[in-house]
Amino acid sequence: MTDTYNAADLPFPGSPVVPEMSDGSKQMQFRCRKGIACWNACCSNIDISLTPYDIVRLKQHLDMSSTELLHKYTVPYELEPGGIAGVKLRPVENGTACQFMTAEGCSVYQDRPTACRYYPVALLSMRKQDEYTDTSSYALVKEEHCLGHQEPRSLTIDEYRKEQGVEEYDELARGWRQLILKKKSSGPSIGKPTKRSLQLFFMVCYDTDRFREFIISDGFTELYDIPADEMKKLLTDDTELMLFGFRFLKQVLFGENSIPLQEAAAEKRRERVHDKSQRIEHEAREKRAAEQDDMYEDHED
């Protein structure tokens, strides 16, 4: 398999540092520790993009709804001009520091976002090699203010990722990265995304609690045939709902069907497809007949 993902959530999109790419086996020298002279410098001037799973973890940590979290702690941004949106952490009012920064360090440390875990490593791209393995390329970002690079500790990028708990975060963001890549690469062939599809993408990927309300609405349940035990999971488990959301978007936006439709809805859909192909055939027949008439007229002239 050769699925490739763009670096949609580069931790340091605005960084002036031009990093050198490497794989996970590269050795790095780094340690961040309480008491270091630059303590909190990295969290004082933030540019942190969030993945859907980051949002799930943060909302659970803060015990608030995704809607509230998005409103209070994030700002939307365009992953590409006029295209799908991402969200970033919103800094403190009139400042650049993270709202979660305290003198003791990060107040959401156990559930800190992917980009914070990765720092000072940046994930540049992720390629699924086969069903079980990924190959990824990384860069080490050396910013002047960060003294962690002078600490006497060596480890590989893979070891660092493991230590920081990044693997689970990457795995659970995979479906989202695939969607972004698909959306970007489908570009002009399917035209500009509609406002509705952009709103749907935003709700499903970032506003889990609104998506949950959506899947219990009549419109959704009349169309999709979700087994009762799966529906129960979706109503109680944010991560399951997020993963289901990626499948749902693949189905709605790219026709990759994995969620069964209710029989009546499926029948209606078949009828619509049949009517459409009849209409197209009819129009093509009329066009051909008109062209033939023109030809005869030209001939008689």
Q: In angstroms, what CA-CA distances link 67 with 70, 122, 211?
A: 5, 28, 10
CB of 155 to ligand SF4, least distance (A): 15
Q: Indicate the residue among 165 and 260 with the shorter CB distance to ligand SF4.
A: 165
Look at phi and psi of residue 134 and say left if phi exceeds 0, alpha if psi is from -120 to 50, else beta.
beta
The reply on whether position 215 binds ligand SF4 by CB under 6 A is: no
The reply on whether position 41 binds ligand SF4 by CB under 6 A is: yes
CB of 143 to ligand SF4, least distance (A): 7
The reply on whether position 140 binds ligand SF4 by CB under 6 A is: no
Residues in the interface with ligand SF4 (CB under 6 A) total: 23
Q: Indicate the residue among 98 and 249 with the shorter CB distance to ligand SF4.
A: 98
The CA distance from 185 to 62, in Å, is: 36
Beta-bridge mates of residue 5:
126
Please report the sign of the dihedral spanned by the C-alpha atoms of residue 257, residue 262, residue 268, residue 270.
Answer: positive
The reply on whether position 11 binds ligand SF4 by CB under 6 A is: no
The reply on whether position 38 binds ligand SF4 by CB under 6 A is: yes
146, 155, 223, 259: residue in contact with ligand SF4 (rule CB under 6 A): 146
Residues 76-115 contacting ligand SF4, CB under 6 A = 98, 100-101, 106, 108, 112-113
Beta-bridge mates of residue 128:
134
Is residue 181 within 8 A of residue 5, CB to CB? The reply is yes
The reply on whether position 48 binds ligand SF4 by CB under 6 A is: yes
Q: Indicate the residue among 26 and 61 with the shorter CB distance to ligand SF4.
A: 61
Is residue 139 within 8 A of residue 4, CB to CB? The reply is no
Residue 191's CB is within 10 A of a number of other CB atoms, namely 8
Q: Indicate the residue among 141 and 204 with the shorter CB distance to ligand SF4.
A: 141
Q: Indicate the residue among 100 and 202 with the shorter CB distance to ligand SF4.
A: 100
The CA distance from 138 to 157, in Å, is: 8
Q: Is 63 helix (H, G, I), strand (E, B) or coil?
A: coil
Q: Which positions lie near ligand SF4, rule CB under 6 A? A: 32, 36, 38-43, 46, 48, 98, 100-101, 106, 108, 112-113, 116, 119, 145-148
